[in-house]
């Protein structure tokens, strides 16, 4: 029986070449199709920053540069630069929505803004902030919400606040193949617990805890850590101690990179800025001046002028309206 089954698959006499060629074509056809598919597929953007690229910068002299963005227009402008990371921060609660803290912003609001930024972000790594109470309850809640940022909004990674107490949560997310950026030191979502936005790690006990937090979340799998509102010497020690990049905001120059809120950098904020903010432009004043000029010209009837008005090429409006009906 076995011999008969084997002989049934033996090529006919004189047809060995055709039989062998047929087997070869069947074997290579999927590979040929794959090569054609890749060649005709969507071109790879060689300028697009990725999580591994950001991690490699730990061992480079080139600093990581990051900014926040909350809408398509600014994201598109930022993406024309050599920016490494665009963060859709929960700071949009205060900057864009006019809220007093970051705590009230919702998942739905963060998803909408991340989608908008994603449409304008083609080169920088896009990271989305997980808002307050979107990850604190359970691993399942965190994975579900982080997954929404990746699937629905187009983010490449998420950021969440917390040190050692969040290590297990971070590990659950990284086990689900979701890249996580950590955030320790001054954590704005803990504003009520901290009693305000105060510099952290100024005494030995607090500094030691922040260093331990950095080690714990590194072990949990973060690809980078935001250090906010801590002394520059402490940030330097942490940067030297861990093997993933540190990104400072109010943490001195020794970090592997820096991040600022875009509106602070551009001078668009209506309130006073923290000490660590450097304004590279005063666009708020320019906006006020431009709007005042517009108001004045409209009321003076100097806008719109000839340059900004349309004219009929063949007939004036009266001749058109008086023309006999056909």
For 43-52, how does the pLDDT look when each residue is reduced to its tens digit (9 = 90+)?
A: 679 899 999 9
CB 158 within 8 A of CB 130: yes
Is residue 72 domain-resident? yes
Residue 174, pLDDT score: 98
Is residue 9 domain-resident? no
- Going residue by residue through the chain, which has 326 residues, state the pLDDT in tens, using 9 for 90 and above: 434 444 444 454 455 544 454 554 455 444 444 444 444 555 679 899 999 999 999 999 999 999 999 999 999 999 999 999 999 999 999 999 999 999 999 999 999 999 999 999 999 999 999 999 999 999 999 999 999 999 999 999 999 999 999 999 999 999 999 999 999 999 999 999 999 999 999 999 999 999 999 999 999 999 999 999 999 999 999 999 999 999 999 999 999 999 999 999 999 987 778 899 999 999 999 999 999 999 999 999 999 999 999 998 766 556 655 656 65
Is residue 279 domain-resident? no
Distance of CA 197 to the CA centre of its chain: 24
Tell me the pLDDT tens digit for each residue of 176-200: 999 999 999 999 999 999 999 999 9
Is residue 29 domain-resident? no
CB 224 within 8 A of CB 248: no
Catalytic option among 108, 140, 152, 228: 228
- The residue with tokens 């602070």 is 264
Backbone angles phi, psi at 265, to 5 degrees: -60, -40
Closest CA to 51 of 150, 151, 189, 188: 150
CB 217 within 8 A of CB 195: no
Residue 92, pLDDT score: 97
- Total structural domains within the chain: 1
pTM: 0.84
Is residue 290 domain-resident? no
Is residue 192 domain-resident? yes
Is residue 39 domain-resident? no
Is 228 catalytic? The answer is: yes
CATH number at residue 60: 3.20.20.60
Domain range spanning residue 163?
A: 51-265
Q: What angle do CA 63, 284, 94 make, to 5 degrees?
A: 70
Is residue 166 domain-resident? yes
């Amino acid at each position: 029986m076995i011999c008969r089954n084997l002989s049934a698959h033996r090529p006919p006499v004189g047809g060995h070449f055709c039989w062998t060629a047929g087997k070869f074509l069947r074997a290579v056809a999927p590979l040929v199709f794959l090569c054609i598919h890749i060649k005709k597929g969507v071109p790879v953007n060689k300028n697009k920053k990725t999580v591994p690229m950001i991690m490699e910068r730990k061992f480079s002299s080139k600093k990581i540069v990051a900014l926040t963005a909350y809408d398509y227009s600014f994201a598109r402008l930022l993406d024309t630069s050599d920016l490494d990371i665009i963060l859709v921060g929960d700071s949009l609660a205060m900057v864009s929505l006019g809220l007093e803290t970051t705590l009230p912003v919702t998942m739905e609001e963060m998803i909408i803004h991340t989608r908008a930024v994603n449409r304008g972000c083609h080169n920088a790594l896009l990271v989305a902030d997980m808002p307050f109470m979107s990850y604190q309850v359970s691993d399942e809640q965190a994975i579900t919400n982080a997954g929404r940022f990746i699937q629905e909004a187009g983010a490449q990674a998420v950021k969440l606040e917390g040190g050692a107490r969040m290590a297990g949560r971070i590990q659950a997310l990284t086990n689900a193949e979701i890249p996580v950026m950590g955030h320790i030191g001054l954590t704005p979502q803990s504003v009520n617990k901290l009693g305000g936005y105060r510099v952290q790690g100024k005494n030995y006990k607090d500094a030691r805890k922040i260093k331990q937090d950095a080690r714990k979340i590194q072990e949990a799998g973060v690809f980078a850590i935001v250090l906010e509102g801590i002394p520059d010497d402490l940030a330097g020690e942490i940067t030297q101690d861990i093997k993933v990049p540190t990104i400072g905001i109010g943490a001195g120059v020794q970090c592997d990179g820096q991040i600022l809120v875009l509106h602070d950098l551009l001078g668009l904020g209506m309130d006073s800025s923290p000490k660590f903010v450097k304004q590279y432009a005063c666009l708020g004043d320019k906006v006020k001046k431009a709007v005042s000029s517009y108001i004045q010209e409209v009321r003076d009837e100097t806008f719109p002028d000839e340059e900004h008005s349309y004219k009929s090429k063949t007939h004036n409006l009266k001749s058109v309206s008086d023309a006999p009906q056909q």
